[in-house]
Structure formats: C-alpha cells, structure tokens
Amino acid sequence: MTELRDEIKETIDREPVVAFVKGTHEQAYCGNSERAMQALRSVGVAFAAVDVLPDPAIRQELTALSSWPTIPQVFVRGELIGGADIVQELAANGELEAALNEKLGPDWRNGGEERTIPLSAGGASFRLAPPG
C-alpha cells in the first residue's frame, strides 16, 4: 500500500460521509460531481469532499481501493454507496435517508458543516515536479 492509498483509506474510514469529486464542495469542475453533492445536500447531510484533481494518483489509488472506475464516489461509514446516478436515485426515492439512518444513526442531520479536506500525500507529484 502506498502512503497516499493509506491516507485515502483512513479518510474513507474516518469520515461518516465522504465524496471524492472533481473540484471542491464550493466549486465542482464536473457535472457528475455536482449532481452527487447536490443529492447529498437535498437530504441535508453534511459531507466531506475530497478533490481528486490535484494529483492523478488520488484517483488511481481510490479506484484501486474501491474497484469503482469513475468519479464521483460517495462513501457512507466506509462503504461505497455509488456514483452520481446512484446517489441521485437513492436521494429521490428516500433510500439514501434510510441508509444514513441505518449507518449513522438518527443524528446524522446534525453532522456539522460541509467541507473539503486536503490529502497531505495527494499533490506530492506536483510539488516534486520541477518548475515548468
């Protein structure tokens, strides 16, 4: 396991709800990432976003862990829920709230603020790259 993969795994295990997206919670750079985050917002759950764009290795290591080929990827309590299509469908039919109740308990609506968390190992290849 690489250091980056370890950090991604720790993030998935630590955060109650985490969305790996292109962009941040404030600014998505992909329509699917935006759809997934809007679906989470629609049920009122606070989530942590992780931007995969700073380093292609983030996406590679994430997919190695999840065996899910596309971005976004939404995890609840360490378990992959799905990408944008699934999160949107589950939010619309009420199953997302049911899953949050089941996995996080009844207090998930009080889960704090939506935010984007940086990966310390992510972006390393950029920092190490010689100035262009």
DSSP for 5-59 reads HHHHHHHHHH-SEEEEESB-SS-BSSHHHHHHHHHHHHHT---EEEE-TT-HHHH
The region of 18-26, 86-94, 103-111, 122-130 touching other proteins under the rule CB under 8 A is 86-94
Is residue 53 within the footprint of other proteins (CB under 8 A)? Answer: no
Among 10, 85, 92, 105, binds other proteins (CB under 8 A): 85
> Which range of residues in 17-25, 44-52, 84-92, 108-116 is near other proteins by CB under 8 A?
84-92
Residues within window 10-39 making contact with other proteins, judged by CB under 8 A: 32
Residue type, 28: A
Based on CB atoms, which residue is closest to other proteins, 82 or 111? 82
Give the CA dihedral 37, 22, 25, 80, nearest 10 degrees.
50
Which position has the token pair 């989470």?
Answer: 40
Please tell me whether residue 72 binds other proteins under the rule CB under 8 A.
no
Given a contact cutoff of 8 angstroms between Cβ atoms, the answer to whether 65 and 8 are in contact is: yes
CA angle 90, 100, 67 (to 5 degrees): 65
Of 3 and 85, CB closest to other proteins? 85
Q: Which of these segments, 20-28, 85-93, 102-110, 118-126, binds other proteins (CB under 8 A)? A: 85-93
Residues of this chain, 93-132, that bind other proteins according to CB under 8 A:
none
Task: Kindly list the residues in this chain that would bind other proteins in the complex (CB under 8 A).
Answer: 32, 67-70, 80-86, 89-90
